[in-house]
Amino acid sequence: MPSTRITAQFSSDDVATIAGTSLVAFDAALASIAVEHPHRPIAALRAMLLNEHDAQTGGTHLAVPGDVLRGVEELLRHDPPSSAPPADAG
């Protein structure tokens, strides 16, 4: 979880707390890292950020954009239920 020192450098629009974890907007985090490490390709920094996220969270998503949830709801409205057992939500 980012410390207060780290999240203090971001605008309040780029930081949120969800499930007790302080989150920073991905683009804001990547931009901050790029400023601190201008000699590194942005693609390499992005890969590092994604890899570290997976390492610390086990790939678990702590949040999803509201539009993603609305998109799934829309898909479900147009997709008849199947007889298949539900996928593991974990």
39-62 tens-digit pLDDT: 999 999 999 999 999 999 898 888
pLDDT for the residue 5: 56
Gap between the Cα atoms of 17 and 44, Å rounded: 27
Residues of the chain with confidence (pLDDT) below 70 = 1-9, 83-86, 88-90
Helix (H, G, I), strand (E, B) or coil at 21: strand
Percentage of the chain beyond pLDDT 70 is: 81
What b/e string do you get for 25-50 counting C-beta neighbours within 10 Å, with b at 16 or more?
Answer: eeebbbebeeeeeeeeeeeebeeeee
Model-level pTM greater than 0.95? no
